[in-house]
């Protein structure tokens, strides 16, 4: 039903997008899309490193009575506005 999309079709789609959203909003939309991709990438990387740390960690961590400092996951390098502390709860109880 749908054939190959060539250059004329892509140019037509791009023209329609510019008409719908306007040339002023397109850079903002692209910027927010890039920021979302960076956040997704950093969260996936943090989850992956956390799972490898869990696998490498001993079964019972030492209980020395001191409270660990809260970790912070940053969305993108240098992006301080979206950094947030991560609270970890003990789910073994």
Residue 5 covered by a domain: no
Residue 18 covered by a domain: no
Distances (CA, A) of 29 to 14, 69, 70: 14, 36, 33
Q: What is the pLDDT of residue 50?
A: 84
In this predicted model, what pLDDT tens digit does every residue of 36-69 receive, in sequence order? 999 999 999 999 888 887 766 555 555 665 666 6
CB atoms within 10 A of CB 73: 16
Q: How many domains would you assign to the chain?
A: 1
The range of the structural domain enclosing residue 37 comes to: 24-53
The two three-digit tokens of residue 23, written as one number: 């040339």
Q: Angle formed by the axes of helices 7-21 and 25-56, to 10°?
A: 100
3-state helix, strand, coil in the chain (%, to 5): 50, 5, 45
The larger pLDDT score, comparing residue 5 to residue 61, is at 5
Residue 13 covered by a domain: no
Q: What is the pLDDT of residue 83?
A: 55
Residue 39 covered by a domain: yes
Residue 48 covered by a domain: yes
What average pLDDT does the segment 14-22 reach? 86
pLDDT band at 74 (very low <50, low <70, confident <90, very high): low
Check pLDDT > 70 for residue 16. yes
Distance of CA 89 to the CA centre of its chain: 22
Residue 33 covered by a domain: yes
């Amino acid at each position: 039903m749908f054939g190959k999309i060539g250059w004329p079709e892509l140019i037509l789609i791009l023209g329609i997008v510019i008409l719908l959203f306007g040339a002023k909003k397109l850079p903002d939309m692209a910027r927010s899309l890039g920021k979302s991709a960076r956040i997704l990438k950093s969260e996936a990387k943090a989850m992956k490193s956390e799972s490898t740390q869990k696998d490498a960690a001993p079964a019972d961590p030492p209980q020395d009575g001191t409270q660990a400092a809260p970790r912070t996951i940053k969305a993108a390098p240098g992006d301080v506005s979206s950094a947030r502390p991560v609270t970890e709860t003990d789910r073994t109880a």
